[in-house]
Amino acid sequence: MHRDDAPRTSGSSVTKSVLCQPRQPARRHSRRSTLAVTFFANALCVSSLFIGATPSVIAAATPEYSVGIIRCTFIDPSRGLLNYRRTPYRIISKQRTLVTEIRYPTQYAVGASTEIANATPVPKTGGYPTVVFAHGYNVTPDTYTKLLDAWVEAGFVVVAPFFPDEDASAVAAQGGANTEDDLVNEPGDLAFVTKSVLEDSVSATSSCPLVEGLIDPSDLALAGHSDGAQAVSMLAYDHGLDPQDVNYAQLRSGIEYRAVMIFSGSLDTDQSNADEASQPDLLVIQSLADTCNPFRYDVQLYRTISQSNKWFLELQSAHHLPPFDGSDNAAFKLVAATTISFLQVSFGMSNELTSLRTVASDVPSVGRLFSGSPGPSLDGVPTLKESCGPN
C-alpha cells in the first residue's frame, strides 16, 4: 500500500456504546439519479470545465447551520481485529468496535462555537441526506474537520467511523506497525455503520438518541480519502470476497448509496470490479502533484467505471492531504464548493450545478472538472516517485 497521512489531534466529544446487530434497513423506493440529466440540461456536460479558485468566485458564504457533534460506538461481533505486530498476524479481539463520529445540522448562531457537542438537531421531516465518510491511514475523521463541517453547514449529516486498526490511535497502540492490511475489512465497517445508524434513526436508542429521525435512508452517499477512498471504491464497486468470504455486493445489499466520492484513492485491482446496477453518481478528485497516491490510479478507477454520470476534478498542484484538511486554502475551497454542489444535485436539493457554474473560469490554475468519458488524459503526466509522509 502507498498511503500515509500526518496524524492530527482528535476533537473532544461524548462517547457512548451499543451492541448493534446488523439488520436490514427499511424498504425504500429506488430513485433514478438526477445529476446526469441536470448536467446535460444545463449544457455543462463538456469534455472539461476549467475552474479557477480566486477568492472572488469561491467566497465563504454564511453557513446555513452550525455543527452538532456526537460519538456513538457500534460493535460488530461477527468480525475481529488483528495484531499486526506479530508474524503471522494474530487475533487480538473477536469483535470490531467502531467509534463513530456523527456531525449534524444544529441551529446556526453568529459567534457560536463551530462545533457543539450533543447539540439539539434542527428537525427535518424525513431526515437529512447523509454522507458516510472513510478517513485515510494513520489519521482520524477529525483530520478532515474543515471539509466535514462544510458539508454539515450546507445541510448534510456526516457519519465517520474511526477504523479500529487504521486510525491514528490504533496505529500507535500497535507500536507503529504497518496495519494497512486491515483495509480489506473497512468496506464491512462502512456497511455495518451505515446499517447501524439507519436503525438508530428509525427508532430511539439509549446509546445514540440524537440520531432518531436524523437520516433520510433514501439519500445516502459514500466518501473517502486515500485508504478510505479505496475502502469506499471496494464497497461501491467490488464483486469479490472480503476476509470473511462475504461478497462485497452482499455487504452493500439493502443500502442505496446514491452518490460516491473518491478522493485520492484507487481500485483494488486484485478484485473484479463492475458498474453497479443502481449507478450512483461518481465524483473523483485527484491532484497531478500527489506523490502519495499517483494520479494514474484514480484515472484507472474513473475509466473502469463506465457509466456516464461521473465527474473527475483534476487538481493542478495540490498534494495528497491539504485539499481535504484545509491547509491548501485554494484547493480546499474548490474541493468544498465542488463536493457540496455535487451532493446537492445528486440528492435533488438543487436543479442545477450552481456552485460549479459560479466558480468556473478560463484560468485552470487550481483545477478542472471533467465529465463523462474519457476523462483526464495521462499524456504528458510525469511519473512521480511515490512518497507519502508530510504532504
CA separation for the pair 5, 291 (Å, rounded): 12
Instruction: Give the tens place of pLDDT for each residue, 289-345.
Output: 998 998 999 999 999 898 889 999 999 988 999 999 999 999 999 999 899 989 998
- Reduced to 3 states (helix: H, G, I; strand: E, B; else coil), residue 287 is strand
* Mean pLDDT, residues 366-376 taken together: 89
* The residue to which cell 484547493 is assigned: 331
Q: How high does pLDDT run on average in the chain? A: 80
**Domain boundaries, given as residue ranges, for the chain:** 15-31+64-350
Residue 315: which of 257, 370, 233 has the closest Cα? 370
Q: What's the CA angle centered on 339, arms 361 and 101, to 5 degrees?
A: 155
Prediction pTM value: 0.84
What's the N-to-C CA distance of the chain in angstroms? 17
The per-residue pLDDT for 47 is 34
Residue 231: which of 255, 254, 260 has the closest Cα? 260
Q: Is the pLDDT of residue 287 over 70?
A: yes
The CATH class given to the 15-31+64-350 domain equals: alpha beta
Report the percent of the chain where pLDDT is more than 70: 77
- Reduced to 3 states (helix: H, G, I; strand: E, B; else coil), residue 194 is helix
Separation in Å, CA 33 to CA 163, 292, 360: 30, 33, 23
* Mean pLDDT, residues 201-230 taken together: 93
